[in-house]
Structure 1
């Protein structure tokens, strides 16, 4: 398992090894001991599976506030997505910045998105499936979001507002400047 810290070091690109033969492949997609070597010991307590039937579906940018903040380990098992995480931790040196990675069934990459980041993804083709582990249960009272198209974020989604497929909830999310602070940055030594 390869773990690479991205431009915002709290976000990791994880590439599990795949061992294949004529029958198919085998892959350990998560190992607690490998994540612990990099400082992540928070247990995952829920798995989510999402299917999007068409290209251009954008889900996000979502997060949960304390006391039910969630870290997420995201992977795409069918199709491909552009996965994005935005730092929303007040006082962080990377506040308002984002990282993006393509996750696909072919490249087998995963993205670790800790609590304190808004997360979302865009389907890059029809019929995508995304599976992600989370570190806390879904709590509707803590469910929040951030506008996917906030110009202050500078995210290059590669799709026009006219072509994106959004939920009603995601059409109404606030911009970063309008959002109430939800997380404080805690410097890691």
Structure 2
């Protein structure tokens, strides 16, 4: 695996090093030793699968509040997503900054998201599936979010004319300045 740290400190794109032969492809998607060598959390306690029927579906921007902040390892196993993270760590030099990463399709990469980030994605194809490994259990009372179109962040979504989103994700108030 190749770990590439992103502009938002602590977030990584993880590229797989596939072994390809006449049968197809084999690649390791996670290794405790390799993640630990990078100083990354390796204590996964929960896995989630998100199945999305329509291109343009947005899920997010979600996070859990203290003391239940989440580390996530996200992989698009079918289709493709425009994955977005926002740094919500007030002490960070990149507080309120966001970046996007393309997952799925041809690249088969994963995204490692540290604690203190909001996370969401937009599907780029119908029938897209996203698999998450989580470093924290789900705590309903700690669930928080910021709206996908909050003017503070000005996220540029690739499929603005095809947005499908839940009422809950639409209901988040402005983050504030």
TM-score (normalizing by structure 1)? 0.89
Instruction: Encode CA deviations 1:53-89: one digit per residue, 9 max, x unaligned.
Output: 1100000000011222111000101010000100111
Deviation, structure 1 residue 14? 0.4
Structure 1: where are the runs of 5+ without partners?
Answer: 179-189
Q: 2: CA distance between counterparts of 1:2 and 1:142?
A: 33
Check if 1:177 corresponds to 2:176.
Answer: yes
Instruction: Encode CA deviations 1:133-161: one digit per residue, 9 max, x unaligned.
Output: 0001111111110011012212111232x
Q: Please show how residues 11-50 of structure 1 align to structure 2 within 5 Å.
A: 11-50=11-50
Contact residue 82 and residue 158 of structure 2 kept, 8 A: no
Q: In terms of mean alpha carbon deviation, does 150-159 or 98-107 score higher? A: 150-159
Contact residue 124 and residue 159 of structure 2 kept, 8 A: no
Q: Please show how residues 101-116 of structure 1 align to structure 2 within 5 Å.
A: 101-116=101-116
TM-score (normalizing by structure 2)? 0.95
1:55 maps to what in 2?
A: 55
Aligned length: 177
Q: 1: CA distance between counterparts of 2:12 and 2:67?
A: 23
SS of residue paired to 1:90:
coil
1:168 maps to what in 2?
A: 167
Structure 2: where are the runs of 5+ without partners?
Answer: none
